[in-house]
Amino acid sequence: MALIDRSFREKIVLVGVQLAGESEESVESSLDELALLVDTAGADVMARTTQRRDRPDPAYYVGKGKVDELREISLEVDSDTVVFDDELTPAQQFNLEKVLGRTAIDRTAVILDIFAQNAHSQEGKAQVELAQLRYRLPRLRGRGTQLSQQGGGLLGNRGPGETQLEVDRRRLVRRIHKLEAELRQIAGHRATQRKARKRSQVPTVAVVGYTNAGKSTLLNRLTDAGVLVEDRLFATLDATTRRLELPGGRNVLLTDTVGFVQKLPHQLVEAFKSTLEVVAEADLLLHVVDASADDPDAQIEAVRSVLVEIGAGDVPELLVWNKSDRTPEAARRAGLSAGSVAVSALTGEGIDTLLAVLGDRLTRTTATVDLLVPFGRGDVLARVHREGEVVEERATEGGMAVRARLDETALGHLTPYVVSP
């Protein structure tokens, strides 16, 4: 898809909702990130507002009084669009636009827009278009004979044109089927390539992490891959694989992947699953974390949530605390977690240590042990999957019985759960 040639930057009002069980800090942090997303999409945030609610309003997501307030705020700052931090239903979007008199979209639409700007390969463009069309299809309802406006809103010119509702629907469905067929063909070629790599017995390592954590910079530092590096969200969408020689001469295949984010649209995860299969089938994940981020733990959790969704939750993981040149927090956090590493992908600090640990994780001897994990200790079970290779897993009266291959470090962490022979 072609980029939008914008003659002006849209004015945006952000809306966040603090639902029951959520903290004010988490809502504000999420809105901060949404503001960065909006800036990346090419628009300016003029105002932001939040509301506390037990549950979303079925008609407007926020209460009717808040909608009236939003209308006044939008008039005051002369905004073009109102962006909600959570996904709106088609009915909520329609109702909001009717009252506000301007475009109302959500975080999902903004992320889809950014992906459309940054997709360059044939596969990447097809994946993003597929995600956009799946998002648009249910939103044809309730809009009479029109789609969203061709010239306005962050989704603007990247969508199909305005025609009769049924014609639009049939055209979108046909296009979706065509894109799905194209992506299945590309996925078949990719599967053939992966089989060839597996036959070569070269270990595969996938670089994963939150968007803008420094994954591409790290890949360039390790392999001179020449991947575009920009200080912006979702600068890298297309997977890049390069060969890396470890100390001792062993080769591995290192693959950079698309960055993750909180509330990553399900449509995108589905559309990019064929690309992300390289993550699920990797021998090890290099999970790059921005140690200078305000809440790196929340970012780690967001990444691991997507990893589970794509079937990669059980792949062993090596945490790489990046940006040690900016903050001593990288070294501190690495020191708290055995086997993790602090680096600066920008300056090269810690890279030799990372290479040594990476080689060690891929080659060191393992022992097969039986463990009994209490049902209430999902964190322990997750650690077994991350740090070892699970051979067998079944539920018993006393908890989850797990047989796994563990290295010495992982075994030391999990000793309390080892069942004596």
pLDDT digits (tens, 9 = 90+) for 79-135: 999 999 999 999 999 999 999 999 999 999 998 888 888 777 788 888 889 988 999
Quote the percentage of the chain above a pLDDT of 70: 85
Residues 180 and 234 reside in one and the same domain: no
Count other C-beta atoms under 10 Å from residue 346's C-beta.
17
Domain that holds residue 352: 202-363
Q: Is residue 239 part of a domain?
A: yes
Residues 308 and 320 reside in one and the same domain: yes
Quote the percentage of the chain above a pLDDT of 90: 43
Q: Is residue 307 part of a domain?
A: yes
Residues 140 and 66 reside in one and the same domain: no
Residues 351 and 243 reside in one and the same domain: yes
Q: Is residue 171 part of a domain?
A: yes
Residue-wise pLDDT tens digits, 166-203:
888 888 899 999 999 988 888 777 777 666 655 556 78
Q: Is residue 4 part of a domain?
A: no
Q: 2-6, 61-65, 213-217, 251-255: lowest mean pLDDT where?
A: 2-6
Residues 353 and 371 reside in one and the same domain: no
The total of structural domains in the chain comes to: 4
Cα(302)–Cα(306) distance, integer angstroms:
7
Q: Is residue 5 part of a domain?
A: no
Q: Is residue 254 part of a domain?
A: yes
Mean pLDDT of 42-58: 95
Residues 218 and 358 reside in one and the same domain: yes
**End-of-domain residue from the set 143, 177, 195:** 195
Residues 207 and 313 reside in one and the same domain: yes
59 is written with which tokens?
């008609």
Q: Is residue 133 part of a domain?
A: yes
Residues 99 and 222 reside in one and the same domain: no
Residues 113 and 124 reside in one and the same domain: no
Alpha carbon distances (Å) from 184 to 174, 273, 305: 15, 11, 25
Question: Can you state the angle between helices 351-363 and 215-223, rounded to 10 degrees?
Answer: 90
Q: 50-59, 123-132, 288-297: lowest mean pLDDT where?
A: 123-132
Name 207's Cβ contacts closer than 8 Å, sequence gap at least 6.
215, 218, 219, 254, 255, 256, 257, 285, 286, 288
**Would you state the pLDDT for residue 128?**
85
Q: Tell me the pLDDT band of 76, cut-offs 50, 70 and 90.
A: very high
Answer with the residue of higher pLDDT: 277 or 185. Answer: 185
Residue-wise pLDDT tens digits, 302-360:
999 989 988 888 888 999 999 999 999 999 999 887 779 999 999 999 999 999 999 88
Residues 137 and 174 reside in one and the same domain: yes
**End-of-domain residue from the set 348, 363, 378:** 363
Name 61's Cβ contacts closer than 8 Å, sequence gap at least 6.
17, 84, 86, 88, 89, 92, 96
Cα(287)–Cα(205) distance, integer angstroms:
10
Q: Is residue 1 part of a domain?
A: no
Residues 298 and 326 reside in one and the same domain: yes
CATH assignment at residue 81? 3.40.50.11060
* Average predicted confidence (pLDDT) for the chain: 83
Residues 263 and 211 reside in one and the same domain: yes
